[in-house]
Amino acid sequence: MTTPEANAPWLIVGLGNPGPGYADNRHNVGFMVADLLAERIGGSFKRHGKAQAQVLEARIGPPGPGSRRIVLAKPMSYMNLSGGPVTALRDFYKVPTAHIVAIHDELDIDYGALRLKLGGGDNGHNGLKSMTKSMGSDYHRVRFGIGRPPGRMQVADFVLKDFSATERKELGYFVDRASDAVEALVLEGLERAQSTYNS
């Protein structure tokens, strides 16, 4: 017998900052992955009436019982206030915290590498910090490696800069792979997705 939680939707949140000035920043890789997922679904984001976010409601996976209902979201607050919109969406769609996936940039992982996990600390990431403060830490993370800043560059400056010309050559491939990882997490579960995508 399936539990109500098994039938609950998944809330997939790409973290980033709104506005064209931030669009290509390293800190906005969560938005990039969310945009690609929306493109794959063939839908478009719409402003949500109850939360400061853009959302797309859809199903992913094979037709029938194997498919999953998802709410794809991009908070339209700034990164350090992400928790408010995500919590509002969680409550509106009645999503268990374990069905929430945050896609975000990660400094302590080499550029383009992925790590999927459930729970844990925020590692100084302001978007995760805000989410954890609002609803606890028991949500999934798809961590997209951006590497450490070169030389003495401050972390805040590094994450708010665009990917370098060299990085951009492979960015499309890595965003595509991260999108695959999100789909695998929702459809196949964390362990199988980790065994395929954690690098």
* Catalytic positions: 27
Backbone angle region of 123, left / alpha / beta, with phi > 0 → left and psi within -120 to 50 → alpha: left
Q: Are 69 and 59 in contact (CB under 8 A)?
A: yes
Contacts for 127 with CB less than 8 Å, ≥ 6 apart: 15, 30, 79, 80, 82, 102, 104
Nearest to 127 by CA among 37, 13, 19: 13
